[in-house]
């Protein structure tokens, strides 16, 4: 059965392809145009020709449009740490995990729009900080599971998240062809240079 064979209800098909992506795109456009606080779920749904009920099937609230997928990335980080070679250094494990997380960022323009919305709203900035703190906690927990001492686990995780934030900032600000994984690798090299006293 093709998409065109699916019966329609109220002029709309039972299954809409890319519904979540359409809602997220419309929400981001409205946040940029009107501001996050001024945009309602009803307006987001209207712009996509969908219902508020459909919106809430995909997102818990307006903020989730900007932060959806964080749990999946946390699970990814945990899995990479658990599967790392036994003799790998803690900071190298963190670097590999965050490089993989960075590979999920591919749409620079979308990410720039998202960041602009977050930068304009203190509540969203706080949510972004909580997301990063959650990632750090996941990294620490994973390293501890491997027997890494608390101090080393905390330093590796916190330094790694800081490096990742620097890489994201570069990726959003620059217009070159470098991918996020490349920038994450370069930023970790920069951290090593700082520690070694190189310039």
Q: Where are the domains of the chain?
A: 3-60, 69-196
Residues 134-152 have pLDDT tens digits of 999 999 999 999 999 999 9
Please report the pLDDT score of residue 199 as a whole number.
Answer: 56
Residues 31-86 have pLDDT tens digits of 999 999 999 999 999 999 999 999 999 999 999 999 988 888 999 999 999 999 99
Residue 96: name the closest of 142, 152, 129 by CA.
142
Q: How far is CA 105 from the centre of its chain?
A: 7
Residue 156: name the closest of 142, 171, 176 by CA.
142
- Rounded to two decimals, the pTM is 0.83
CA angle 195, 161, 64 (to 5 degrees): 170
Please report the pLDDT score of residue 4 as a whole number.
Answer: 29
Give CATH for domain 69-196: 1.10.357.10
Which CATH number applies to 3-60: 1.10.10.60, 1.10.287.110, 3.40.50.10610, 3.40.30.10?
1.10.10.60
Tokens of 119: 């930068």
């Amino acid at each position: 059965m093709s998409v065109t064979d699916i019966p329609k209800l109220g002029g709309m098909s039972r299954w809409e392809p890319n519904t979540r992506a359409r809602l997220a795109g419309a929400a981001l456009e409205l946040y940029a145009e009107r501001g996050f606080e001024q945009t309602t779920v009803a307006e987001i749904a209207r712009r996509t020709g969908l219902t508020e009920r459909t919106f809430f099937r995909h997102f818990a609230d307006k903020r989730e449009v900007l932060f959806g997928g964080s749990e999946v990335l946390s699970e990814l980080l945990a899995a990479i740490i658990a599967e790392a070679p036994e003799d790998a250094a803690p900071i190298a494990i963190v670097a590999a995990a965050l490089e993989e997380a960075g590979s999920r960022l591919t749409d620079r323009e979308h990410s720039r729009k998202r960041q602009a919305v977050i930068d304009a709203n203190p509540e969203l900035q706080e949510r972004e900080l909580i997301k990063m703190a959650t990632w750090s906690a996941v990294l620490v927990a994973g390293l501890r599971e491997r027997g890494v001492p608390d101090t080393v686990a905390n330093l590796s995780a916190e330094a790694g998240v800081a490096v990742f934030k620097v890489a994201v900032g570069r990726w959003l600000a620059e217009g070159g062809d470098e991918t996020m994984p490349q920038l994450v690798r370069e930023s970790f090299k920069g951290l090593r240079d700082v520690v070694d006293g190189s310039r």
